[in-house]
Amino acid sequence: MELQLDNLCHAYNDVTVLDRISLRIASGKIVCIVGPSGCGKSTLLRLVGGLERASSGAVLQMGEPPADSINPLTYIFQDFALLPWRTVGGNVSLVLEDHGIQGERAEAIISDVLKRTKLTDFRKALPKQLSGGMKQRVAIARALAVKPAILLMDEPLSALDSQTRELLIDDLIALWVREQFTAIYVTHNLNEAVRLGHSIVVMSRRPGQVRAIVDIDKPLQQRQLGDADLELKQKELWDLMREEALAADQELIRV
């Protein structure tokens, strides 16, 4: 499945947040979105996910989701959003129950996604017994359980320390190599963007517009930590963002 954003504009009351965003997210590609704080990245994801309606413009879904997809567009949030009284397995089964899936079919899906996210041994643990990285893996397992055609990720790793984040980047790459899902991945972290993005959209400060799109051809599985090509791309992104980030920062100080 692929997505096309066509001249999307959005305003809250009379404040324009997004201004004529046009983008194509091709099937099986990860598109990262970076930009200064408050430029409308989360708003953009909410519009794509249908949680809010754009003031104007359109979000088009093209192609059919795979036949076994339970929820074609699925979110992974930064704060995990796990139910504390449910076990790891229980948190995953919740999203299946929401879709009326129980019994053997649910069991097969739960054990498969826990295996893929390396959580099989923690199935009966409660969230409070898990590290931040493991909680985020439960959130990823829960998203994978509904076999999304498109994953929408809003800073999914930003609450984690850098080592844990590094491990989860590897996990996400391994999952993508297996599934080739389509994703929009919002991040503040340019290193994450160059590790995970097939292309990276740089947004201007509010009202957010597409300032530049930087493509990275190197296959995800060959992108190692400290790779010189990726560092160059990261610098290119920072050069594009620096002025906008500074201006956005000054704006925040003024209000």
Binding footprint of ligand ATP on the chain (CB under 6 A): 12, 17, 37-43, 206
**Contact of residue 17 among Mg ion, ligand ATP, none (CB under 5-8 Å per partner type):** ligand ATP
**Contact of residue 12 among ligand ATP, Mg ion, none (CB under 5-8 Å per partner type):** ligand ATP
End-to-end CA distance of the chain: 42
Q: For residues 214 and 229, what is the distance between their CA atoms, to the nearest angstrom? A: 13
**Residue the block writes with tokens 């009284």:** 85
- Closer residue to Mg ion in complex, CB, 89/156: 156
Q: How far is the CB of 168 from Mg ion (least distance, A)?
A: 19
Q: What mask, x for binding Mg ion by CB under 5 A, covers residues 21 to 50? A: --------------------xx--------
Alpha helices in the chain, H assignment, sequence order: 41-49, 88-98, 103-116, 132-145, 162-179, 190-196, 228-254
Neighbours of 241 (CB within 10 A): 21
| Cis-peptide, bond into residue 84, ω within 30° of zero | no
- Closer residue to Mg ion in complex, CB, 41/165: 41
- Closer residue to Mg ion in complex, CB, 41/142: 41
**Contact of residue 37 among Mg ion, ligand ATP, none (CB under 5-8 Å per partner type):** ligand ATP
Pair type for strands 56-62 and 30-34 = unpaired
**Residue the block writes with tokens 């054990």:** 111
Q: How far is the CB of 183 from ligand ATP (least distance, A)?
A: 17
**Contact of residue 233 among ligand ATP, Mg ion, none (CB under 5-8 Å per partner type):** none
Could you list the residues that contact Mg ion (CB under 5 A)? 41-42
